[in-house]
Amino acid sequence: MSLKIKLIVGLGNPGQEYEQTRHNVGFWLLDELAWKWKVNFKDEKKFYGEVARATTPDGDVWLLKPMTFMNRSGQAVAALAQFYKIKPEEILVVHDELDIPCGRIKFKLGGGNGGHNGLKDIQARLGTPNFYRLRLGIDHPGDRNLVVGYVLNKPSVEHRQQIDDSIAKSLQGLPAVLNGEWEEATRFLHSK
Where is the binding site for tRNA, in residues? 18, 69, 71, 117
Binding site members: 18, 69, 71, 117
Of 37, 31, 26, which is closest to residue 92 (Cα–Cα)?
A: 26
| 3-class DSSP assignment, residue 63 | strand
DSSP string of 74-132?
HHHHHHHHHHTT--GGGEEEEEEETTS-TT-EEEEES---TT-HHHHHHHHHHT-S-SE
Q: How far apart are CA 123 and CA 141, in angstroms?
A: 26
* 143 contact partners, CB below 8 Å, separation of at least 6: none
Catalytic annotation, residues: 23
In 10 A of CB 90, how many CB atoms? 18
In 10 A of CB 1, how many CB atoms? 4
